[in-house]
């Protein structure tokens, strides 16, 4: 069982502090969604968790192990992997090489059987990646590149998967497919999923818990069904 706990405070860019106190706990197979309007602090929260944003205070534990002092590049080896916004991949190489490269970068020993096991698992979640294995990644659609970005993260065998705005710019049918797959991943992989979303519609169908941010502050947190019925959710989004 994975238990991920974190507390961050005073995240800043240069001299500008943009995020206050954020505390979270996510159990194995759980999904936590960070909701809020543009500029609320969702992306900064994820970046703070993986130590790419300066913070006044940062504490991160996974299964009781203190990872707070580790730099960002060490975290994937400990099971914490971030999928940034923008469906990022290496655009000038194939889908297969994107997946192979991530495996090689995150495993101490390049084992052919282990790579095949993970590759086959990723393809089972995203069959289109198998169909387009030899296609140059930059020529794929935005939705397909987003699937590849998630697939690359899975090649690192995350125990905590962080996703920043995975639905941004995608057609509704692709968003629905993506979130259904994320539900399968957290169930079958047993990993914890933390995602930042501006689109509350699909995220709230799959997440068990929620943190609502506004202007860098937590205005609401708790089980999803409780948050959805709270008037402060509408206030955080619409200012009403």
In whole angstroms, give the CA distance from residue 159 to residue 152. Answer: 14
pLDDT at 202: 76
pLDDT at 237: 62
Q: What does each of the 240 residues of the chain score in pLDDT, given as a tens digit?
A: 679 999 999 999 988 999 999 999 999 889 999 988 888 899 999 999 999 999 999 999 999 899 999 999 999 989 999 999 887 888 999 999 999 999 988 887 777 888 999 999 999 999 999 999 999 999 999 999 999 999 999 999 999 999 999 888 888 888 888 888 988 998 888 899 999 987 777 777 788 899 999 899 999 999 988 888 887 777 666 554
Residues 6 or more apart whose CB falls under 8 angstroms from that of 81 comprise 75, 153, 156, 158, 160, 161, 162
User: Tokens standing for 48?
Assistant: 């703070």
Q: What residue has token string 């944003």? A: 53
HEC-encoded secondary structure of 82-112: EECCCCCCCCCCEHHHHHHHHHHHHCCCCCH
Q: Where are the domains of the chain?
A: 1-79+159-240, 89-157
In whole angstroms, give the CA distance from residue 118 to residue 55. Answer: 34
pLDDT at 1: 64
Domain 1-79+159-240 in CATH 3.40.1010.20: no
User: Tokens standing for 186?
Assistant: 């957290």
pLDDT at 156: 92
pLDDT at 240: 47
Helix H or strand E segment including 170: none
Classify the C-alpha dihedral 13-86-79-113 as positive or negative: negative
Q: What residue has token string 């539900």? A: 183
Residues 6 or more apart whose CB falls under 8 angstroms from that of 138 comprise 89, 91, 92, 145
Question: Using one digit for the tens of pLDDT, what is the confidence trace for 170-222?
Answer: 888 888 888 889 889 988 888 999 999 877 777 777 888 999 998 999 999 99
């Amino acid at each position: 069982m994975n238990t991920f706990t974190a507390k961050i405070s005073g995240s800043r860019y240069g001299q500008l502090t943009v995020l206050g106190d954020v505390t979270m706990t996510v159990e194995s197979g759980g999904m936590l969604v960070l909701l809020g309007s543009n500029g609320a602090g969702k992306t900064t929260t994820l970046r703070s968790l993986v130590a790419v944003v300066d913070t006044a205070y940062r504490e991160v534990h996974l299964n009781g192990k203190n990872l707070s002092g580790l730099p960002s590049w060490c975290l994937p080896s400990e099971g914490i992997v971030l999928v940034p916004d923008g469906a990022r991949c290496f655009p000038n190489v194939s889908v297969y090489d994107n997946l192979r490269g991530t495996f090689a970068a995150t495993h101490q020993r390049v084992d052919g059987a282990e790579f095949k096991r993970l590759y086959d698992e990723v393809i089972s979640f995203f069959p289109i990646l198998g169909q387009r294995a030899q296609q140059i990644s930059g020529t794929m659609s935005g939705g397909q590149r987003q699937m590849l970005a998630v697939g690359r993260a899975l090649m690192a065998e995350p125990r905590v998967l962080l996703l920043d705005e995975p639905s941004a710019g995608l057609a509704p049918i692709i968003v629905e497919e993506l979130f259904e797959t994320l539900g399968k991943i957290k169930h079958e992989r047993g990993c914890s999923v933390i995602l930042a979303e501006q689109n509350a519609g699909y995220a709230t169908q799959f997440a068990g818990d929620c943190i609502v941010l506004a202007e860098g502050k937590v205005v609401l947190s708790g089980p999803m069904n409780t948050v959805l019925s709270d008037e402060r959710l509408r206030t955080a989004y619409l200012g009403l």
